[in-house]
């Protein structure tokens, strides 16, 4: 019954959030009516009828009339209306220039405020400008260069530039990740493995961390022929294992297993991310579940020891140790917050308040606690 109660609670929360977003116009009342639609002689935008008879729907994001061109409800100033056409969900062009259009939201008011981003690409060769891909990648090209979200970048051969997937494009000489060449990549065999990894005949790559040093793509120095992906962010070859794109020193690829929550093990060691978990017994190592908690699982144990992330407890009874959630645990003798004993807490009556807000996150018969410390009593 408790599980059903939690499920119902979160359904109510999700419904409430969706209702608020509809009220503020963040999402349309019906997703089927989102964007521009034309049916039975009636034009709508996000389900609202447009009475202007001169409106021409170009696609679900772009339209025009005698007065101007539009991306969603935003006016595109100075567009040549007669020649204005939509290319995909973000790109459009007229006889003179091309446009990349999108919406941005502000951090503190993400769900309540939005504004248009309309980039006018003035140095484009409009006649040859086309969208690449499915309209979501942000790639386009003309006869001179490639474009990503409206920003041009040099390519070796624009005529053969094509999309590999949502992240990569290639011409007959070079693979590109966003605006940058992927050094040494083999054009003919390069492919994505998933949203974070790619490979070709010679190399395996991790992409997604946008650092200036590597343009957001990192070569994984592995045996390409035997490399395989495991549960993110792990991979391995026949010799060793990798965390994201970093080799896990000392690991054995043949026996390597992902335990979960940044823990892994092989026949020799247990690892937290890329570090050996000193003192851990690989054969008996396991995550300590707390099924009634919504919190991440950070506690693990073997036959003799208990760990919180990469830290080993001192004297604790591993056999009776239980995770309670929100960083709390007990072995029946003490209550722990992370690896520290919560002074004077009573294990028999101690409980964690997962859904509480404010100055407490746990309590026992005598006291209330916040992050392992007793809070002042209410006056």
Task: State both tokens at 378.
Answer: 């209410």
At 212 the pLDDT is: 61
Of 40 and 69, which is predicted with more confidence? 69
What is the pLDDT of the chain when averaged over all its residues? 87
Average pLDDT over residues 172-189: 94
What is the C-alpha separation between 379 and 363, in angstroms, rounded? 17
At 31 the pLDDT is: 44
Residue 196 has pLDDT above 60, yes or no: yes
Whether the Cβ atoms of residue 353 and residue 361 lie closer than 8 Å to each other: yes
At 114 the pLDDT is: 77
At 229 the pLDDT is: 96
At 8 the pLDDT is: 46
At 359 the pLDDT is: 84
**Residue in the structure block whose two tokens are 């086309």:** 130
Sorting pLDDT into bands at 50, 70 and 90, what band is 258?
very high
At 12 the pLDDT is: 52
Sorting pLDDT into bands at 50, 70 and 90, what band is 7?
very low
Q: What count of Cα atoms within 13 Å lies in the side-chain half-sphere of residue 315?
A: 2
Task: State both tokens at 77.
Answer: 């100033």
Residue 205 has pLDDT above 70, yes or no: yes
- Could you give the percent of the chain with pLDDT greater than 90? 69
What is the C-alpha separation between 104 and 11, in angstroms, rounded? 28
At 9 the pLDDT is: 47
Could you tell me how far CA 237 lies from the centroid of its own chain? 26
At 108 the pLDDT is: 60
Backbone angles phi, psi at 69, to 5 degrees: -110, 150
pLDDT in tens, 107-149: 666 556 778 899 999 999 999 999 998 788 899 999 999 999 9
Residue 18 has pLDDT above 90, yes or no: no
Whether the Cβ atoms of residue 155 and residue 125 lie closer than 8 Å to each other: no
Sorting pLDDT into bands at 50, 70 and 90, what band is 11?
very low
pLDDT in tens, 317-359: 889 998 888 889 999 999 999 989 999 999 999 999 877 667 8
At 142 the pLDDT is: 98
At 231 the pLDDT is: 95
At 79 the pLDDT is: 97
What is the C-alpha separation between 44 and 51, in angstroms, rounded? 9
Of 317 and 15, which is predicted with more confidence? 317
Q: How many CB atoms lie within 10 A of CB 90?
A: 23
At 20 the pLDDT is: 52
Backbone angles phi, psi at 118, to 5 degrees: -120, 105
Q: How many CB atoms lie within 10 A of CB 240?
A: 20
Residue 76: closest CA among 51, 84, 368, 53: 84
At 107 the pLDDT is: 61
Of 194 and 293, which is predicted with more confidence? 194
Describe the chain by its helix, strand, coil percentages, rounded to 5. Answer: 10, 35, 55
Could you tell me how far CA 340 lies from the centroid of its own chain? 33
DSSP-derived secondary structure for 20-48: HHHHTTSS-S-GGG-SEEEETTEEEETTE
């Amino acid at each position: 019954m408790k599980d059903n109660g939690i499920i119902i609670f979160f359904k109510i929360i999700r419904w409430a959030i969706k209702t608020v977003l509809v009220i503020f116009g963040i999402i349309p009342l019906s997703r089927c009516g989102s964007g521009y639609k034309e049916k039975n002689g009636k034009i709508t935008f996000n389900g609202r009828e447009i009475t202007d008879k001169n409106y021409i729907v170009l696609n679900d994001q772009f339209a025009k009339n005698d007065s101007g061109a539009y991306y969603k409800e935003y006016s595109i100033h100075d567009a040549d209306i007669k020649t204005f056409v939509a290319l995909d969900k973000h790109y459009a062009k007229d006889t003179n220039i091309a446009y990349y259009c999108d919406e941005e939201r502000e951090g503190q008011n993400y769900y309540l405020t939005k504004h248009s981003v309309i980039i006018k690409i003035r140095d484009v060769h409009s006649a040859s400008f086309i969208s690449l891909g499915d309209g979501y990648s942000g790639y386009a090209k003309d006869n001179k260069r490639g474009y990503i979200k409206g920003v041009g970048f040099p390519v070796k051969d624009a005529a053969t530039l094509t999309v590999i997937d949502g992240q990569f494009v290639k011409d007959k000489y070079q693979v590109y990740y966003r605006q940058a060449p992927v050094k040494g990549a083999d054009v003919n065999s390069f492919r994505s493995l998933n949203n974070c990894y790619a490979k070709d005949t010679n190399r395996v790559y991790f992409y997604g961390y946008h650092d200036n040093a590597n343009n957001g793509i990192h070569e994984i120095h592995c045996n390409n022929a035997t490399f395989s992906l495991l549960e993110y962010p792990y991979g391995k070859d026949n010799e060793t294992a990798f965390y994201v794109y970093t080799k896990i020193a000392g690991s054995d690829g043949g026996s390597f297993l992902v335990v979960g929550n940044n823990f892994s093990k092989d026949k020799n060691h247990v690892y937290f991310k890329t570090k050996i978990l000193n003192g851990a017994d690989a054969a008996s190592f396991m995550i300590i579940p707390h099924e009634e908690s919504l919190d991440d699982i950070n506690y693990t144990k073997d036959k003799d020891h208990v760990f919180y992330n990469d830290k080993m407890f001192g004297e604790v009874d591993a056999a009776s140790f239980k995770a309670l959630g929100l960083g709390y645990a007990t072995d029946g003798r003490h209550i722990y917050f992370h690896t520290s004993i919560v002074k004077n807490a009573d294990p028999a009556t101690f409980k964690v308040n997962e859904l509480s807000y404010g100055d407490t996150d746990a309590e026992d018969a005598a006291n209330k606690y916040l992050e392992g410390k007793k809070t002042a009593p209410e006056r």
